[in-house]
Amino acid sequence: MFYFIGLGLGDAKDITVKGLEIVKGAKRVYLEAYTSILTDGKEKLEEFYGREVILADRDMVEQQSDELFQDADEEDVAFLVVGDPFGATTHSDLVLRAQQKGLQYKVIHNASILNAAGCCGLQLYSFGEVISIVFWTDTWKPDSYYERIAANCKRGLHTLCLLDIKVKEQSIENLMKGRQIYEPPRYMTVSQAACQLLEIAERKRNAGEIPAFTENTICVGLSRVGAEDQRIASGTLKELSQTDLGNPLHSLVIAGHMHPLEIDMLREFAVNPTTFNTFSEDQKVK
Amino acid sequence: MFYFIGLGLGDAKDITVKGLEIVKGAKRVYLEAYTSILTDGKEKLEEFYGREVILADRDMVEQQSDELFQDADEEDVAFLVVGDPFGATTHSDLVLRAQQKGLQYKVIHNASILNAAGCCGLQLYSFGEVISIVFWTDTWKPDSYYERIAANCKRGLHTLCLLDIKVKEQSIENLMKGRQIYEPPRYMTVSQAACQLLEIAERKRNAGEIPAFTENTICVGLSRVGAEDQRIASGTLKELSQTDLGNPLHSLVIAGHMHPLEIDMLREFAVNPTTFNTFSEDQKVK
């Protein structure tokens, strides 16, 4: 059996009891290590499981699935994914390849940022489509996700923004010279994402449009959700562009219309209660 | 400390290792027992935890939170919620009451149907707003959620429909006579939900509108997600109205536009591969 096992969002102990039993009994244990991170790394997981953990990078998962699947028709193989196996990162392609090989698979679900984001107090019922914000470069500053945020805002829905992760990237020089040297991993912060959104709002204004959000739109910054040192900060987009939420991973929520209960919850996390009270009033459900 | 602990979706072993440690060490353990169910009931949970579990019904949670919070400033109290504490069911109101009392709280997240629904192969990125479908009565057949489904469909997004649960309900006779006699719990099935949706589509057609979905729209029925006997069935809305997915809980997804990979995944669960191939073509992303 090939098991997709969600690890949840915090540390080693966020695996489920069922998931841990499977890991302990599996022939091989892989950790998908390119789309998210826990606060615990490979070594801590190995210590907690009492098992060797094999890091599976994107190449291995996408190109060398035969290695992952080896003997999984006769033995148990565990494939660990931070969050939920079908949460923010989807492994449907791997499921299909397993099925094509006639392999059986099972999924052990866990928390994903897609549902854990509810801890800020915004109701998950009132979220629209999720979007991803990618790192801009000097010459490439895409804003195609703006339309989806705008569509959510128009319906009064909140937007969860997943923030970019760059792992195992090569510099152009190293890439051209074929050197297997990788840059340090980069994780987009709430502040960086908020700065991009402010620039996009400015672009829209310069183009004569009324932007779907402004510097005064109430947003929520989340960092390390589910971990001991998780942080939640609510405030205007401008305020969040100036707020340091510490170590990764970060996520950002753009609030739509808010019920009084949602406003009461968010107020607990306000970086500035005065501006929060002023501007949250504009987004209150009429 | 007052702990909100998600139990996940399947059985007792879907609690996280961290959650289990807290349950074992807590002074009192409550189980929120009116918005969802596990395949294991109170007795099995007690056996697995080695602890007494106190059922908390809606009255207790909404009216008698003082009892829940008692001594939580000095001792650990665990409040167990099926799924994630801030998933399909939100406990923001309880969080706010804890805060008003100056109590500290922590959340132990877990899988919720909101992310576990991804197991059917539809990408969670492409879901719009979640909706709830309630039981109709002979005289009350609301369809206000239709507009939200239509808004999702218009944007090509999938719609997760949470299906009604009726627990601890009184008949009108018992209610009027003040008798504390409750009806057996009722859980809406995929088939029942699909029948309602078909009737709503018919209403729209009779009103001269083009409905957002028809009897040929590809949908997915899910039952007991995360449990050993979980079932997934894809097919047209009409087919799902005639499909029995067994024991509760059920959920229904109305597919929007689908990528070829999503169609490949759903095909594995098709109740009728021929009609699936015909009608999924109409919803394929162009």
| A9 labelled ligand-binding | yes
pLDDT value, residue A63: 85
pLDDT value, residue A16: 98
- Spatial separation of the C-alpha atoms in residues A42 and A21, rounded to whole Å: 18
pLDDT category, A129, cuts 50, 70, 90?
very high
Q: To which residue do tokens 């995929």 refer?
A: B190
| B9 labelled ligand-binding | yes
Q: Which residues of B touch A107 (CB under 8 A)?
A: 119, 226
Cβ contact, residue pair A124, B157, below 8 Å: no
Out of B87, B151, B225, closest to residue A124 by CB: B87
pLDDT value, residue A36: 78
> How do residues A72-117 score in pLDDT, each as one tens digit?
999 999 999 999 998 766 688 899 999 989 999 999 999 999 999 9
pLDDT value, residue A175: 85
pLDDT value, residue A195: 98
Pick the closest to residue A262 from A63, A128, A129, A122 (CA basis).
Answer: A122
Q: Which residues of B touch A109 (CB under 8 A)?
A: 8-10, 14, 111, 115-116, 119, 225-226
Out of A8, A124, A129, closest to residue B128 by CB: A129
Q: B-contacting residues of A 1-20, CB under 8 Å?
A: 6, 8-18, 20
- Residue A112 and residue A214 in contact, taking contact as beta carbons nearer than 8 Å: no
> How do residues A262-284 score in pLDDT, each as one tens digit?
999 999 999 999 999 999 999 99
> How do residues A223-234 score in pLDDT, each as one tens digit?
999 999 999 999
For A63, the token pair is: 């190109």
pLDDT value, residue B88: 63
pLDDT value, residue A40: 84
For A137, the token pair is: 């470069």
pLDDT value, residue B176: 87
pLDDT category, A128, cuts 50, 70, 90?
very high
pLDDT value, residue A89: 65
Residue A84: left if φ>0, alpha if ψ -120 to 50, beta else—which one? beta
Cβ contact, residue pair A115, B112, below 8 Å: yes
Q: B-contacting residues of A 136-165, CB under 8 Å?
A: 151, 155, 157
pLDDT value, residue A112: 94
pLDDT value, residue A38: 81
pLDDT value, residue B152: 98
CB atoms within 10 A of CB A184: 7
pLDDT value, residue A62: 84
CA distance A86 to chain B (A): 5
pLDDT value, residue A90: 67
pLDDT category, A146, cuts 50, 70, 90?
very high
Cβ contact, residue pair A124, B110, below 8 Å: no
Out of B16, B127, B262, closest to residue A16 by CB: B16
pLDDT value, residue B16: 98
- Residue B83 and residue B51 in contact, taking contact as beta carbons nearer than 8 Å: no
Q: Are strands B28-32 and A186-187 parallel, antiparallel or unpaired?
A: unpaired
CA distance B128 to chain A (A): 5
If you write DSSP's letter for every residue of B65-110 in order, what string do you get? HHHHHTTTTTS-EEEEESB-TTSSS--HHHHHHHHHTT--EEEE--
CB atoms within 10 A of CB B228: 9
- Does this complex have an ipTM over 0.85? yes
- Spatial separation of the C-alpha atoms in residues B148 and B159, rounded to whole Å: 9
Out of A93, A95, A114, closest to residue B115 by CB: A114
> How do residues A5-37 score in pLDDT, each as one tens digit?
999 999 999 999 999 999 999 999 999 977 777
Note the pTM of the prediction, 2 decimals. Answer: 0.94
Cβ contact, residue pair A126, B127, below 8 Å: no
Q: B49 to chain A: nearest residue by CA?
A: A17
Give burial (CB, 10 Å; 0-12/13-18/19+) of B46. middle
CB atoms within 10 A of CB A139: 5
Out of B6, B88, B128, closest to residue A111 by CB: B6
End-to-end CA distance of chain B: 52
| Residue scoring higher pLDDT (B72 or A167) | B72
CB atoms within 10 A of CB A247: 14
pLDDT value, residue B183: 85
Q: Distances from the Cα of B184 to the Cαs of A142, B60, B141, B170, B206, in angstroms?
A: 55, 20, 22, 9, 36
| B113 labelled ligand-binding | yes
CA distance A88 to chain B (A): 7
> How do residues B141-179 score in pLDDT, each as one tens digit?
999 999 999 999 999 999 999 999 988 788 888 888 888
For A109, the token pair is: 């679900």
- Residue B58 and residue B165 in contact, taking contact as beta carbons nearer than 8 Å: no
- Tell me the count of A-B CB pairs closer than 8 A: 164
| A158 labelled ligand-binding | no
Out of B13, B93, B129, closest to residue A18 by CB: B13
pLDDT value, residue B91: 84
> How do residues A208-265 score in pLDDT, each as one tens digit?
999 999 999 999 999 999 999 999 999 999 999 999 999 999 999 999 999 999 999 9
| B91 labelled ligand-binding | no
pLDDT value, residue B90: 67
Q: What mean pLDDT, rounded, does chain A reach?
A: 94
Q: Please list the rounded mean pLDDT of every run of 10 residues in chain B (286 residues).
A: 95 97 97 82 94 90 89 96 82 89 95 94 95 95 96 97 88 86 91 98 97 98 95 98 96 97 95 97 93
Task: Please give the share of chain A, as a percent, with pLDDT higher than 70.
Answer: 99
- Residue A19 and residue A204 in contact, taking contact as beta carbons nearer than 8 Å: no
pLDDT value, residue B1: 95
- Residue B79 and residue B4 in contact, taking contact as beta carbons nearer than 8 Å: yes
Q: B-contacting residues of A 80-109, CB under 8 Å?
A: 83-88, 90, 92-93, 95-96, 99, 107, 109
